[in-house]
């Protein structure tokens, strides 16, 4: 289907270029024939009544192309997600979920989502003992969700940010309800 759409697009582009070139050639010829002064165009009443404005035709064409591209992208996106699910290694996915299957770790990544934090910041914000903060950070570091920042603090990695966003979207999709 993508090839058909690309082929139609290419044909439309070629046709539009051809029409544009014909119009330019006719206009230049008319200008030269009129001594370079002006052009007189005669249109019959029927010609005007039966002709749609070019802007309407162009808008309809753009709308049609957008709809075809959108449906093609949706179809390709669904196939791509299906392929991702099929190829997902269960053990890696389970480990990733385990690393966040703790409310204190979720608090930590949410804090880091907003900005980088020092160990003391995390300890104060979570009201945990230092050993507990260290334990949770070790797990998050081990899964590559958190890294050491430039100034000795901690920050979310791209992977961590993506996982937090994904969890937020999942929560929203489930309506924030507790799932059994």
* Tens digit of each residue's pLDDT (9 = 90 or more) over 66-85: 777 677 767 777 777 778 77
Structure tokens at 77: 């996106």
Which residues are within 8 A (CB) of 159 and not within 5 positions of it... i.e. 6 or more apart? Answer: 144, 145
- The string of pLDDT tens digits covering residues 135-180 is 999 999 998 999 998 777 999 999 898 888 888 888 787 776 665 5
Contact 82, 124 (CB under 8 A): no
Identify the CA nearest to 115 among candidates 173, 156, 80: 156
Q: Which two tokens stand for residue 138?
A: 């070790």
Average pLDDT over residues 22-46: 66
CB 38 within 8 A of CB 27: no
pTM comes to: 0.53
Percent of the chain with pLDDT over 70: 72
């Amino acid at each position: 289907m993508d090839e058909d759409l690309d082929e139609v697009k290419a044909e439309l582009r070629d046709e539009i270029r051809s029409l544009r070139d014909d119009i330019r050639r006719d206009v230049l010829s008319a200008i030269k024939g009129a001594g370079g002064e002006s052009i007189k165009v005669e249109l019959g009443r029927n010609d005007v009544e039966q002709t749609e404005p070019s802007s309407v035709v162009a808008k309809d064409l753009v709308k049609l192309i957008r709809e075809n591209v959108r449906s093609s992208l949706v179809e390709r996106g669904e196939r791509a997600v299906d392929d991702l699910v099929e190829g997902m290694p269960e053990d890696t996915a389970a480990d990733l979920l385990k690393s966040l299957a703790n409310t204190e770790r979720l608090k930590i990544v949410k804090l880091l989502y907003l900005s980088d934090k020092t160990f003391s910041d995390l300890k104060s914000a979570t009201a945990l003992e230092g050993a507990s903060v260290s334990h949770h950070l070790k797990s998050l570091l081990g899964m590559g969700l958190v890294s050491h920042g430039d100034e000795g603090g901690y920050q979310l990695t791209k992977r961590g940010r993506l996982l937090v966003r994904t969890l937020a979207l999942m929560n929203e999709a489930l309506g924030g309800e507790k799932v059994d």
